[in-house]
Structure 1
Amino acid sequence: MDSKRCVALIAHDQKKDDMAEFAREHQDALSTFRIVATGTTGGRVQDACPKLDVIRLKSGPLGGDQQIGAMIATGDVDMLIFFVDPLTSMPHDVDVKALTRLATVYDIPMALNRATAERLIDFHINR
């Protein structure tokens, strides 16, 4: 695997614009990471930031959440930024809970909203 630290980017449908804007504002910092993302989120980030190298996995409901969970379990993901939409029910909510549980079990930094993601990126820039 690449020696760069890896960040996983995921966003629920109502938060994909927020994720694209976040990536645009922080593309210099994100360029220091290897980036993996669920399919649609990864596409939106690539459209917003064509210079970023984003590895797109499957869409979340089609297994992308589980792919990222497996990468967390094998130590291949160092940080998770997951913009969740708590006001919309998700048919794959079980996968989402499993993903956040894995991030907790494997003790990786995890942001579930933009404010926390900003702090994680700021920490990365200033260390």
Structure 2
Amino acid sequence: MNIALIAHDQKKNDLVQFVTAYQAIFAKHTLHATGTTGLRIHEATGLSITRYQSGPLGGDQEIGALIAKNQMDAIFFFRDPLTAQPHEPDVSALVRLCDVYSIPLATNMGTAELLIRGLDEGLLDWRNIAREKGVRNGK
């Protein structure tokens, strides 16, 4: 499965710790990340990660383009709800695309725990069918 890893500055440490804790599961999948987040995760885990621009420089949009092409299966986006983000419209667009294409999205540690465990148990295998058939939002 194709998985995107994104984190706002104040949440990068949390995402690095999360991926480190579940490194064995993430290692079974193809990982994508925005710039600094991807670098930090790679340095901490050694996992292979395709890196895009940082979020404010268009990385969110690059990952959004993969979602729009139905080439992304799950998103772990640890957002900081207490800090204004200069690229908030890009963040909103990414969340909207996840809804349009029925892409599971975890924006906090609690949901991320459920998503990673479901991924490990094969509960997201329906994404393989959706991707192959170009299914968008059940259509």
Q: Establish whether residue 104 from structure 1 lines up as the match of residue 107 from structure 2.
A: no
> 1:20 maps to which residue?
16
2:33 counterpart residue number: 37
Deviations 1:9-61 (A, max 9, x none): 000000000010001000100011100000010011001101x1111100100
Alignment of 1:1-127 (within 5 A): 5-50=1-46, 52-127=47-122
- Give unpaired runs (5+ residues) of structure 1: none
The CA deviation string for residues 83-106 of structure 1, in whole angstroms up to 9 with x for no partner, is 000000000000000000001110
Q: 3-state DSSP class of the match of 1:88?
A: coil
Mapped to 2, the partners of 1:125 and 1:57 lie a distance apart of: 25
In angstroms, what is the RMSD of aligned CA positions? 0.6
Unmatched segments (≥5 aa) in structure 2: 123-139
Provide the C-alpha distance between the structure 2 equivalents of 1:117 and 1:45, rounded to a whole number of angstroms: 16
The structure with more radius of gyration: 2
**Percent identity of paired positions between Structure 1 and Structure 2:** 50
1:87 partner letter: L
Shift in Å, 1:124: 1.4
Q: TM-score, normalised by structure 2?
A: 0.86
Quote the Cα distance in structure 1 between the aligned partners of 2:102 and 2:60: 17
Cα distance between partner residues in 1 of 2:67 and 2:94: 9
TM-score (norm 1): 0.94
